[in-house]
C-alpha cells in the first residue's frame, strides 16, 4: 500500500466530513417500495427513489426475473457480438422500439453506458455537439469521450443561446442537440417543441435522454416526447430501465435501424462488455407490459405529485415549479441540505439532500421524488415530518 497516496485519500475524506458533505450509504433490507426497512433507521417512507410507478416490487416483474434466471441461467460469460446475446435481448429491444415509436433499440447495462457509448461512436471529425448545461453527468461524460467533436454548451433551457451555439457550429456535420427530457435535479422539462424547430432550421440531429420522463410523462407514460406530441420527431432517445421500468438496471438507445446497427458494430461498451443480464431483461419486459396494461399508474403518480406539492406549499415551502415527479426544495448550502435530510430520516422519511458539485454552489436542495405507490396516509406522515423539520430549521414559519 502506498502510504502517501493512502494519507492523501484519508485527508480528502476527512475534509468532506468536516464540511458536512460526506455521503453515508444507507442499507436497505427490504425491496424498494413506498416504505422500506433501513438498517440505520428502521421503517421509513421513501421519497428519494426513482421507483416512479412502484414496479420494483411488482409481483409480475419479480416473477419474470425468476423465470429469466430459470430459462437463461446466470449469463453468457461473453460480450454480445461473440456469443453473448439471448433471444430475450432482441425481444426487449423490439419492445422498447415499439414503445417509443422508433425503428429499433439497443440495450446496455445502464443508461450511463448507453450515453457514454453513443456520442463517441457517432461523432467523427467535423461533428459538433450542442448540449444543455444542466444535462446529466452521463451525457457530459459521453460528450467528453467524443474527442473528435466540437463541443458547445448552451444555457439551461435558453433557446436563444441554443440558437447562437447552433449558428456558431454551422459547417460541422452532424450537429447534435442533446438534452435531458426531464432534468434530474430541477425536475423541469426540456423545451422539445422549440428544440425540434431549431434542429430543423439548422439541420441538427436531436438526442433526448428521457430517463426521468419514461413512465412519468405523457398520457401512457411513454415520456416527455409523448407529453409534447412529438413521437417520431426525435432522432435519438436514450433512457434507463433502472427507474420507472422495474428499477433494476439497464439502459438503451432507440432510433433508426442504421443508428442501432452502427452502435452494434462500433459502440465500445457493446464490443467490450457483457450484455444486460437476461433476468433484468425479462423483468424490464414485464414492467413495460405492466405499464401498458395499467395506464392508471401514470394518473395516480400525477395525482400524488399534485397532492404532495400542494401539501408542501400549504406548509410554506416553495418547491421549484415543474410537471415531472421530481419536486426540488432549494435550501442553500450543501451541509444544510444533508443535515435536513438526516433530520427527516430520524422522523421516518428517506429523502436525499444534494449539494455541490452535483448542483451549483448555494443551490443545495432536498429532492423529493414521488411514486404512484405512495398512499395519502404515507404522504401525510411525510408532510408532518417536513413541517416539524422545516420549523426546527427555520425554513418555514
Ligand atoms: C438523465 C439520466 N441519464 C442517465 C442516468 C443513468 O442511468 P443508469 O442508472 O441507467 O446508468 C441517470 C441516472 O441517474 C439520469 O438521471
| 6 assigned to some structural domain | no
Mutational pocket test of ligand 1: of 117, 211, 243, 276, the residue with most ligand atoms within 8 Å of the beta carbon: 211
Q: Are residues 281 and 363 located together in one domain of the fold?
A: no
Instruction: Name the band, by pLDDT with cuts 50, 70 and 90, for residue 356.
Output: confident
Contact between 33 and 352 (Cβ < 8 Å): no
Which of 246, 274, 293 delimits the end of a domain? Answer: 293
Q: Are residues 302 and 329 located together in one domain of the fold?
A: yes
Q: Are residues 211 and 327 located together in one domain of the fold?
A: no
| 2 assigned to some structural domain | no
Distance CA(371)–CA(374), nearest Å, equals: 6
| 84 assigned to some structural domain | yes
pLDDT over 90 (residue 250): yes
Which of 293, 321, 346 delimits the end of a domain? Answer: 293
How far lies 366's CA from each of 91, 107, 142, 335, 390, in Å? Answer: 39, 32, 27, 11, 11
Q: What residue numbers bound the domain in which 124 lies?
A: 59-293
48 in active site: no
> Residue 23: what pLDDT?
87
Q: How many angstroms does the Cα of residue 209 sit away from the middle of ligand 1?
A: 9
Q: What is the pLDDT of residues 147-195, one digit of tens each?
A: 999 999 999 999 999 999 999 999 999 999 999 999 999 999 999 999 9
| 1 assigned to some structural domain | no
Distance CA(371)–CA(375), nearest Å, equals: 9
Q: Are residues 236 and 118 located together in one domain of the fold?
A: yes
Active site residue: 131, 184, 283, 324, which one?
184
How far lies 274's CA from each of 76, 84, 95, 281, in Å? Answer: 8, 7, 21, 13
Q: Are residues 35 and 63 located together in one domain of the fold?
A: no
> Residue 94: what pLDDT?
98
| 5 assigned to some structural domain | no
Q: How many angstroms does the Cα of residue 211 sit away from the middle of ligand 1?
A: 6
Q: Are residues 248 and 173 located together in one domain of the fold?
A: yes
> Residue 265: what pLDDT?
98
> Residue 397: what pLDDT?
83
| CATH number of the domain to which 263 belongs | 3.40.640.10
The Cα diameter of the chain in Å comes to: 63
Q: Are residues 274 and 133 located together in one domain of the fold?
A: yes
User: Average pLDDT of 43-59?
Assistant: 98
| 397 assigned to some structural domain | no
Cα angle 98, 102, 108; round to 5: 85
Instruction: Name the band, by pLDDT with cuts 50, 70 and 90, for residue 357.
Output: confident
Query: How many domains are there within the chain?
Result: 2
Instruction: Name the band, by pLDDT with cuts 50, 70 and 90, for residue 34.
Output: very high
> Residue 21: what pLDDT?
80
Q: Supply the angle between the helices 59-72 and 87-100 in degrees, to the nearest 10.
A: 150
Q: Is the CB of 111 under 6 A from ligand 1?
A: yes
pTM over 0.95: yes
Q: Are residues 207 and 163 located together in one domain of the fold?
A: yes
Q: Are residues 112 and 187 located together in one domain of the fold?
A: yes
Q: Is the CB of 252 under 6 A from ligand 1?
A: no
Cα angle 59, 221, 378; round to 5: 60
| CATH number of the domain to which 26 belongs | 3.90.1150.10
Q: Are residues 140 and 282 located together in one domain of the fold?
A: yes
> Residue 361: what pLDDT?
85
Q: What is the pLDDT of residues 67-92, one digit of tens each?
A: 999 999 999 999 999 999 999 999 99
Q: Are residues 42 and 114 located together in one domain of the fold?
A: no
Q: What is the pLDDT of residues 253-279, one digit of tens each?
A: 999 999 999 999 999 999 999 999 999
> Residue 225: what pLDDT?
98
| 11 assigned to some structural domain | no
| Average pLDDT score over the chain | 97
pLDDT over 90 (residue 322): yes
Higher-confidence residue of 314 and 355: namely 314
> Residue 159: what pLDDT?
98
Which of 272, 293, 314 delimits the end of a domain? Answer: 293
227 in active site: no
Q: Are residues 43 and 157 located together in one domain of the fold?
A: no
| 334 assigned to some structural domain | yes
Grid cell of 223 as nine digits: 415520456
Q: What is the pLDDT of residues 297-313, one digit of tens each?
A: 999 999 999 999 999 99
Amino acid at each position: 500500500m502506498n502510504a502517501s497516496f493512502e494519507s492523501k485519500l484519508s485527508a480528502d475524506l476527512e475534509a468532506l466530513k468536516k464540511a458536512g458533505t460526506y455521503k453515508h450509504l444507507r442499507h436497505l433490507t427490504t425491496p424498494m417500495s413506498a416504505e422500506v426497512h433501513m438498517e440505520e433507521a428502521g421503517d421509513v417512507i421513501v421519497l428519494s427513489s426513482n421507483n416512479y410507478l412502484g414496479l420494483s416490487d411488482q409481483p409480475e416483474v419479480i416473477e419474470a426475473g425468476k423465470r429469466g434466471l430459470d430459462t437463461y441461467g446466470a449469463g453468457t460469460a461473453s460480450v454480445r457480438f461473440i456469443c453473448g446475446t439471448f433471444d430475450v435481448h432482441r425481444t426487449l429491444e423490439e419492445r422498447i422500439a415499439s414503445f417509443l415509436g422508433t425503428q429499433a433499440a439497443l440495450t446496455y447495462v445502464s443508461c450511463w453506458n448507453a450515453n457514454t457509448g453513443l456520442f463517441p461512436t457517432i461523432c467523427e471529425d467535423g461533428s459538433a455537439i450542442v448540449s444543455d448545461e444542466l444535462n446529466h453527468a452521463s451525457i457530459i461524460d459521453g460528450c467528453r469521450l467524443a474527442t473528435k467533436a466540437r463541443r458547445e454548451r448552451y444555457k439551461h433551457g435558453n433557446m436563444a443561446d441554443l440558437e447562437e451555439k447552433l449558428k456558431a457550429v454551422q459547417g460541422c456535420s452532424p450537429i447534435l442537440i442533446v438534452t435531458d427530457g426531464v432534468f434530474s435535479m430541477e425536475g423541469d422539462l426540456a423545451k422539445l417543441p422549440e428544440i425540434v424547430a431549431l434542429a430543423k432550421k439548422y439541420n441538427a440531429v436531436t438526442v433526448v435522454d428521457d430517463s426521468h420522463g419514461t413512465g412519468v410523462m405523457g398520457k401512457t407514460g411513454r415520456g416527455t416526447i409523448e407529453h409534447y406530441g412529438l413521437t417520431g420527431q426525435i432522432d435519438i432517445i436514450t433512457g434507463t430501465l433502472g427507474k420507472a421500468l422495474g428499477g433494476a438496471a439497464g439502459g438503451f438507445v432507440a432510433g433508426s435501424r442504421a443508428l442501432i446497427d452502427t452502435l452494434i458494430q462500433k459502440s465500445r461498451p457493446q464490443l467490450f462488455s457483457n450484455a444486460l443480464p437476461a433476468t433484468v431483461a425479462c423483468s424490464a419486459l414485464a414492467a413495460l407490459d405492466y405499464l401498458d396494461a395499467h395506464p392508471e399508474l401514470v394518473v395516480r403518480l400525477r395525482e400524488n405529485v399534485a397532492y404532495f406539492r400542494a401539501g408542501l406549499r400549504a406548509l410554506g415551502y416553495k418547491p421549484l415549479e415543474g410537471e415531472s415527479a421530481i419536486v426540488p426544495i432549494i435550501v442553500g448550502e450543501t451541509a444544510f441540505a444533508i443535515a435536513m435530510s438526516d433530520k427527516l430520516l430520524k422522523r421516518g422519511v428517506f429523502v436525499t439532500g444534494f449539494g455541490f458539485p452535483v448542483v451549483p454552489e448555494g443551490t443545495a436542495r432536498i429532492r423529493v421524488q414521488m411514486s404512484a405507490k405512495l398512499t395519502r396516509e404515507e404522504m401525510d406522515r411525510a408532510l408532518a415530518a417536513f413541517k416539524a423539520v422545516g420549523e426546527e430549521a427555520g425554513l418555514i414559519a
